[in-house]
A = this chain, B = another copy of it.
Amino acid sequence: MQRSREGWHWTPGTGLQAGIPSIAVIEPSQLIQHPKDVFDVIVIGAGYTGLTAARDTSTSGLKTLLLEGRDRIGGRTWSSEIDGYPYEMGGTWVHWFQPHVYRELSRYGMKDQLVHSTDYSKKHNFFTFKTASGDRNMSHEEEDSLFARAVEKFVNVDGNLGRTVMPFPFNAYWNKDVLKYANLSVAERIAQISHDLSSDERHAVEAFVLLCSGGTTENSAFLDFLRWWAAANYDYKTLLDTIIVFKLKCGQSGFAKRFFEEALASGNLSYSFNTPVARIDSSKGLVEIRTKDGQIFLAKKLICTAPLNVLEQIEFNPPLDQAKREAAALKHVNQCVKVHADVKDPEMRSWSGVTYPHNKLVIGVADGTTPAGKTHCVFFGCDANHMHADEDINQTLGAIKEFGPMEIDRLVFHNWSKDEFAKGAWVWYRPGMEVQYLEALRKRQGPVLFANSDWAAGGWRSFIDGAIQSGTEAALTVRQELRPGSRTSRL
C-alpha cells in the first residue's frame, strides 16, 4: 500500500516513525494532460469540500484541475490501515442525521459500512472518572446520566434546552434572541450555572465541551456548542450518536476515494498532489494560480477550500477583503490532540474514561478490536494543557496510562497543530467570531469562491457533512455560471 509522509506510528520495537500507510495517497501524484489549457475551474484542496466540488464540476462536463499540497486526499479526514485495521487520523464519525454525508454514503451504496464504535459486552465495562475531586469508576449508565445532566444544564439558557433560542439548527439566528449569546465563552457560560453544578457535573461538562471544541474554556464560543446540540435534536444521547458512535468499516479514506474515483472516471479531472499554492491572482479576466514550485495554471473560476487557519498563507491579488483577513489572522481555537493506542487487554473494549483537568489527554474511549485481538482506544486532548504527541513519546504514553494501567502495543496519530495545511482540527470559533465573520468568510471575490466546512451554512458546520455541503454549493454555483454542455438555449 502507498505510504503518506504524514502521520506518526510508534511501537515498543520500532520507536516513533514518521509516515503511515494510506489508500488516500494517490499515485501517480500528477495527471495533467494539457497544463497550458485554461481550465473551467481549479479546485484548491482535496479534502471533502474540494473532492465534492471537483467531482460535481468534472462529472458535469467542466474541465477541472484539483491542486493539493499534501500527498493524499481527505484533508483533515484520513485513515491509515495498519495490520488490517483502519485508524482515523481526523474526522471519523458520521450519522444519518447528517444529510450531506449520509446522502453520499447512500449514493455510493456504503450504508452497510457503518459500524458501531461502542461495545459494552466485555469485562472492563465501566467508565473511569479521574478529576480534581478524586478518582473512581462508574457504570456507563451512571456516566451517561452524569454527562446528560451536566450538558443539559449547560445548554438550558431558555428553560427549553435551547429549543426556543435555536429552533432551527441550520438557520442558527432565526430567533434573534440567540445573538445574546454571541460573545459568551464556554467558561462564562459555566460561571453562569456554577451555583447549580456539582463538582462532578462541572468536570463532566468541561471535559465534554473541550472534547468538542479542542480549545480552552476561555477561548471556545458557547454558540458553537449550542448549534451542535440543536443539530442533534437537543438530546444528549442523540448528540453522542451523531458525533462519536458510527464510523466506517472501510475507513474514511475508503469513502473519500469514491469521490475522487468518480471525478476521475468522468475524464474531465486533472490533478496534482504535493502542489501547494502560493498565489491566486484574479485581477485580470482569468484566475491565475502560481504554485510554490513555480507552476502557473489558468482557469475561469476558482474554488479555494483552504481552511481558516491557513488561509493567510496564500497570497491573493486582489487581496482578501478586510473581514476575511481579520478572521484568518484571529484563527479558530481547535488544537485537538488525537492519539490511537492499541491496548493488549481485549476486555478493555467496553471501557471509557475522563482525566481532567490535570492530564494532557482529557477523554479516552475504546473504539474497536484489531485483527490481532487488541483493544483499539482513542484519546483526545485539547488546547488547555496541550501537548505535541510526537515530541515526547514518553509524555504521550504517560498521558494514556494516567487513565489506568494499560499495556500499549502501538500508537498512531497525526499532529494537526503542526500540520502546515490545517494548523488545527475542525473549526471552533472564539466568542463573538462566528457572528462577526461567518458571512464574510462565505463571500466570494469575483471568480474566486471560498468553500470549507469551517464556514458551511448548515447545522453541521465543522463536520464532514459541512464540507460536503460547502463543496456541493460551490460546484453548483460554478456550473450555473459556466453552463457546461448546453446545446439548446434556455426556454
- Which of A82-90, A356-364, A426-434, A479-487 faces chain B? A479-487
0/1 string, A447-484, CB within 8 A of B gives 1:
00000000001110000000001001100100110011
Asked whether any CB of chain B lies closer than 8 Å to the CB of A198, the reply is no
A183 CB within 8 Å of chain B: no
Hey, which chain B residues are within 8 Å of A238, CB to CB?
233
Query: How many Å lie between the Cα of A355 and that of B119 in the bound state?
Result: 46
CA distance A60 to B106 in the complex (A): 19
A491 CB-CB contact with B under 8 Å = yes
Given contacts A31-B491, A486-B266, A490-B265, contact A169 B96 (CB under 8 A): yes
Q: Which of A39-47, A97-105, A337-345 binds B?
A: A97-105
Most buried by B among A99, A238, A488: A99
A141 within 8 A of partner (CB): no
Q: How many residues of A contact B (CB 8 A)?
A: 46
Q: State which of A66-74, A107-115, A124-132, A391-399 sits at the interface with chain B.
A: A107-115
Decide: A100 near B96, CB < 8 A? Known: A112-B171, A233-B238, A267-B487. Answer: no
Closest to A27 in B: B491
Does A485 lie within 8 Å of B268, measured CB to CB?
A: yes
Nearest B residue to A487 via CB reads B267
Residue A170, interface by CB 8 Å: yes
Is A38 an interface position by the 8 A CB rule?
Answer: no
Task: Give the nearest-CB partner of A480 in chain B.
Answer: B265
Whether A264 sits at the interface, judged by CB under 8 Å, is yes
A14–B107 alpha-carbon span in the complex (Å): 48
- Provide the bound-state CA to CA distance between A457 and B107, in Å: 11
Q: Are A96 and B459 in contact (CB under 8 A)?
A: yes
The answer to whether B96 and A491 touch across the interface, beta carbons within 8 angstroms, is no
Contacting pair A487 B268 (CB below 8 A): yes
Cβ–Cβ contact B111 & A264, under 8 A: no
Q: A304-325: which residues lie under 8 A (CB-CB) from chain B?
A: none
Check: A61 CB closer than 8 A to any chain B CB.
Answer: yes
Chain B residue with the shortest CB-CB distance to A102: B99
Chain B residues positioned under 8 Å from A102 (CB to CB):
99
- Tell me which residues across on chain B come within 8 A of A114, comparing CB atoms: 168, 171
CB of A33 within 8 A of chain B?
Answer: yes
A370 on the interface (CB 8 Å rule)?
Answer: no
Q: Smallest CB–CB gap between A115 and chain B, Å?
A: 11
CB distance from A271 to the nearest CB of B (A): 11
With A264-B491, A267-B485, A485-B61 as contacts: A100 and B111 at CB distance below 8 Å: no
A59 within 8 A of B: yes
User: In the bound complex, how far is the Cα of B102 from the Cα of A97, in angstroms?
Assistant: 10
Contact of A59 among B264, B457, B458, B479 (CB under 8 A): B479
Within A279-298, the residues touching B (CB, 8 Å) are none
In the bound assembly, the distance between CA atoms of A491 and B33 in angstroms comes to 13
What's the minimum C-beta distance from A33 to chain B, rounded to whole angstroms? Answer: 7
In the bound complex, do residue A107 and residue B170 qualify as a contact, i.e. CB atoms below 8 Å apart?
no
Q: Which of B106, B458, B490 contacts A100 (CB 8 A)?
A: B106
User: How many angstroms between the C-alpha atoms of A362 and B484 in the bound complex?
Assistant: 51
Taken together as a complex, chains A and B put the C-alpha atoms of A491 and B61 apart, in Å, by 18
Provide the residues of chain B in CB contact with A457, threshold 8 Å. Answer: 106, 111
* Nearest Cβ on chain B to A217's Cβ, whole angstroms: 29
Q: Which residue of B lies closest to A100 (CB)?
A: B103
Identify which of residues 116-173 in chain A touch chain B, using a CB-to-CB cut-off of 8 Å: 168-171
Q: Which of A169, A233, A458, A490 has the most CB of B within 10 A?
A: A233
- In the assembly, what is the distance between CA of A16 and CA of B476, in Å? 44
Bound Cα distance from A268 to B103, whole angstroms: 25
Question: Can you give 16 contacting A-B residue pairs, CB < 8 Å?
Answer: A59-B60, A60-B60, A60-B61, A96-B97, A96-B169, A96-B459, A99-B106, A103-B103, A103-B469, A107-B472, A109-B473, A111-B457, A114-B168, A265-B480, A265-B486, A267-B485
In addition to A114-B168, A114-B171, A485-B485, 4 A-B residue pairs with Cβ atoms within 8 Å of each other are: A96-B99, A103-B469, A106-B458, A107-B473
